[in-house]
Amino acid sequence: MLSPSQIETVRQFASEVAEREGCQLYDLEFHDGPGRALRVYIDKAGGVSIEDCANVSRALNLRLDVEDVISIGAYSLEVSSPGLDRKLSQRWHYEAAVEKTVRVKFRVADKNQTVEGKLVSLSEEEFNLKNVNGEWSVPFVDVIQARIVPENPFAKNNEPVKKTKKR
């Protein structure tokens, strides 16, 4: 397992490499155990290409090897776009998602609740969602998971993509 200081060092290196390659570090995760992996998510205006991912991967891999930040054994480095259904984990992710549809799982009393709606505003402590059933104020500290719901480009009014069951 990586320590918080190791994660912060990796985050700093990944951010520097991504910026040098014309991208922005969106997020990163380290998964320990079997199949140990460092997943780095990059973004840029106009979208991330395979070439962007390859360039960031090569440069970051070299930097991590030279600096020997992750010295706990073998791991794989995966660099990709955060995707259309990107995870929201940092405040600036929520700021960029205002006016978009999001799905949020959060704690309410002793249970978990999931709500999907348009992210309409945020403050220092919470954000506000709105859908046909009403409005919700969700404190950031209660969020378990939040993701953008991709829009359906073929629907009117940018409705979210509806999942259908295969028969």
Report pLDDT digits (tens) over 47-76: 999 999 999 999 999 999 999 888 878 899
* Angle ∠(45,49,55) on CA atoms, nearest 5: 105
* Overall average pLDDT of the 121-128 stretch: 96
Tell me the Ramachandran region of residue 79: left when phi exceeds 0, alpha when psi lies from -120 to 50, beta otherwise.
beta
User: Which value, to the nearest 10 degrees, does the dihedral of the CA atoms of residues 149, 153, 158, 163 take?
Assistant: -40
AA letter at 126: E
Task: Give the tens place of pLDDT for each residue, 134-164.
Answer: 999 999 999 999 999 998 777 666 555 555 5
In order of 29, 98, 108, 111, 156, the CA distances from 142 in angstroms are 20, 19, 8, 11, 33
Query: Which of 146, 82, 89 is CA-nearest to residue 115?
Result: 146
pLDDT over 80 (residue 128): yes
pLDDT over 80 (residue 122): yes
Residue 143 bridge partners (DSSP): 106
Cα gap 19→25, rounded to integer Å: 8
For the entire predicted model, the pTM comes to 0.83
Cα gap 129→121, rounded to integer Å: 7
Task: Give the tens place of pLDDT for each residue, 17-45.
Answer: 999 999 999 999 999 888 899 999 999 99
pLDDT at 151: 83
Token pair belonging to 118 = 């348009």
Cα gap 25→16, rounded to integer Å: 8
Cα gap 150→148, rounded to integer Å: 6
